[in-house]
């Protein structure tokens, strides 16, 4: 079950790029996910097929967070979520400290991955990067966003 609904009509006339895909906003508890720091919750929920609101509530409860919790997670939080729900994944070993653009060159496009980089979590699926802000082309949008030079902390094959 995908958490993204795709709308192939650009939302403004100023954006003329032909491969642009506008994404209907995913909401968590009535708030736009793209405006929250919930990339880890989004990646786990979307990557493993969970409802994003249920995953958000699980993280909120198990992190003992207050009502203004915005979805921040750590690698160990996401690992605990997978263990609690009997989810298996394969951790890809990184030989050294690498940047995202280097790691993406070595990943198989036919497989799905959850990638943790400095201060962000992404899903790599079918040659595209997906986060709570939408689906992005690796070659064009990744360079523009500045994420290409961030350090990779972990890679999970899902």
* Cβ pair 137, 19 in contact under 8 A: yes
Q: How far is it, in rounded angstroms, from Cα 31 to Cα 60? A: 15
Interacting residues of 53 by C-beta distance below 8 A, sequence separation 6+: 28, 29
pLDDT at 116 over 60: yes
Q: Please state which of the ranges 28-32, 50-54, 75-79, 116-120 shows the lowest mean pLDDT.
A: 28-32
> What pLDDT shows up at residue 158?
92
pLDDT at residue 4 is higher than 60: no
pLDDT tops 80 at residue 144: no
Instruction: Give the residue extent of every domain in the chain.
Output: 5-157
Q: State the chain's mean pLDDT as an integer.
A: 83
What residues contact 14, with CB distance under 8 A and at least 6 apart?
none
pLDDT digits (tens, 9 = 90+) for 46-65: 999 999 999 999 999 999 88
Whether 17 shows a pLDDT value over 50: the answer reads: no
Q: What is the pLDDT of residue 76?
A: 96
Mean pLDDT of 71-86: 95
- 5 token code pair: 């609904």
Model confidence at 20: pLDDT above 70: no
CB-based contacts of 36, cutoff 8 Å, min separation 6: 28, 70, 71, 132
- What six digits make up the tokens of 116? 């943790």
pLDDT at residue 79 tops 80: yes
Tell me the pLDDT band of 15, cut-offs 50, 70 and 90.
very low
* Per-residue pLDDT band at 141 (split at 50, 70, 90): confident
Average pLDDT of span 8-29? 46
């Amino acid at each position: 079950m995908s958490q993204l609904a795709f709308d192939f009509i650009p939302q403004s006339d100023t954006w003329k790029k032909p491969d642009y895909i506008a994404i209907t906003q995913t909401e968590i508890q009535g708030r736009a996910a793209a405006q929250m720091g919930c990339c880890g919750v989004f990646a786990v929920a979307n990557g493993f097929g969970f409802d994003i609101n249920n995953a958000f509530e699980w993280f909120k409860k198990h992190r003992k967070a207050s009502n203004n919790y915005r979805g921040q997670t750590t690698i160990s939080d996401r690992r605990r979520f997978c263990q609690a729900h009997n989810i298996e994944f394969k951790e890809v070993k990184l030989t050294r400290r690498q940047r995202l653009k280097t790691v993406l060159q070595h990943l198989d496009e036919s497989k799905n991955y959850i990638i943790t980089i400095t201060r962000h979590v992404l899903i790599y699926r079918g040659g595209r990067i997906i986060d709570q802000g939408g689906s992005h082309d690796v070659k064009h949008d990744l360079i523009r966003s500045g994420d290409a030079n961030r350090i990779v902390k972990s890679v999970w094959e899902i």
